Amino acid sequence: MTSTTVGTDPTAVAVSDVLRIDSPRPSRAGALSAALSFGWRALLKIKHVPEQLFDVTMFPIMFTLMFTYLFGGALAGSTEAYVQFLIPGILVQTVVMITMYTGLTLNKDIEKGVFDRFRSLPIWRPAPLVGALFGDVVRYTIASVIVLLLGLVLGFRPAGGIVGVVASVLLLLLFSFSMSWIWTMFAMLMRTEQAVMGVSMFILFPLTFASNIFVDPATMPGWLQAFVGANPISHLVTAIRGLMAGTVELGQLAVVLAWCAGFVLVFGPITMRLYNRKA
């Protein structure tokens, strides 16, 4: 291919060199690399606005201390005894509660028109959504570490050892990632982030407080025990308590994994349909 030069200056750059006409076209980014790129974008947003970490740093500390010292003596006779029961539950509550911020962040991006640009890019269509969820997994991990470290300081001693603790955190991260698809759906449906927060809190408060996080369901009325028994949060807490105690039942793990698959299979396609049709 003959290349022409710009102007008559012998030092002028060839047009083909400027336009890279004869260079191979870059390959299209794969699904995983595209999703990880958007995950990195989510982390960069935290870097530039570190106040976003307030909910994953201060709230876990506040909730753990408050429930341990306010209710420990009344519910278990002592804070030392109650903390063994509470820490796995408060770990679940802390991380599950902050999953709603996934929807808030996505809704803000949609309002600013950023997602209109993302949809025009030659990338895997779900990459912006999956990447945002990947970024939030880092936030969930930070919150988990804070709760566990504070629990150890307060006297929590998991009989399952480090293996049980790591397995518990991994299970919680998987569940939180899967559940976050619900809030991504609401981010597509609601017009403001305040509406997303309102609906999310309306769902999360009954799920977390009407569960086995704080007390044994045996002390509850029969109708409430039925709700707690069907609550996915209760199944998750039971599985995590079993992992940390080294007495986990495979049946409980299977139920939690089934809920994870259900969240993704139901709300993932709905979210993508709304995303593709979003004006």
Give me the percent of the chain exceeding a pLDDT of 90. Answer: 42
253, pLDDT greater than 90: yes
Identify the pLDDT of residue 162.
94
Burial of 94 (0-12, 13-18, 19+ CB in 10 A): buried
Identify the pLDDT of residue 176.
94
CA distance 214 to 88: 10
Identify the pLDDT of residue 67.
86
Q: 123 falls in which pLDDT band (50, 70, 90)?
A: confident
Domain limits of the chain?
Answer: 28-277
Lowest mean per-residue pLDDT among 8-12, 126-130, 149-153? 8-12
Lowest mean per-residue pLDDT among 18-27, 99-108, 223-232? 18-27
CA distance 185 to 126: 13
**What is the pLDDT averaged over residues 181-191?**
90
CA distance 152 to 244: 13
Average pLDDT, the chain: 84
56, pLDDT greater than 80: no
Q: 48 falls in which pLDDT band (50, 70, 90)?
A: confident
Identify the pLDDT of residue 6.
46
- Selected residue with higher pLDDT from 113 and 134: 134
**What is the pLDDT averaged over residues 119-124?**
78
- Selected residue with higher pLDDT from 52 and 268: 268
What would the 3-class secondary structure string for the chain be? Answer: CCCCECCCCCCCCEHHHHHCCCCCCCCCCCHHHHHHHHHHHHHHHHHHCHHHHHHHHHHHHHHHHHHHHHHHHHHHCCHHHHHHHHHHHHHHHHHHHHCHHHHHHHHHHHHHCHHHHHHCCCCCCCHHHHHHHHHHHHHHHHHHHHHHHHHHHHCCCCCCHHHHHHHHHHHHHHHHHHHHHHHHHHHHHCCCHHHHHHHHHHHHHHHHHCCCCCCCHHHCCHHHHHHHHHCHHHHHHHHHHHHHHCCCCHHHHHHHHHHHHHHHHHHHHHHHHHHHHCC
1, pLDDT greater than 70: no
Identify the pLDDT of residue 26.
60
Q: 258 falls in which pLDDT band (50, 70, 90)?
A: very high
**What is the pLDDT averaged over residues 241-264?**
94
Identify the pLDDT of residue 167.
95
**What is the pLDDT averaged over residues 21-49?**
73
**What is the pLDDT averaged over residues 148-163?**
93
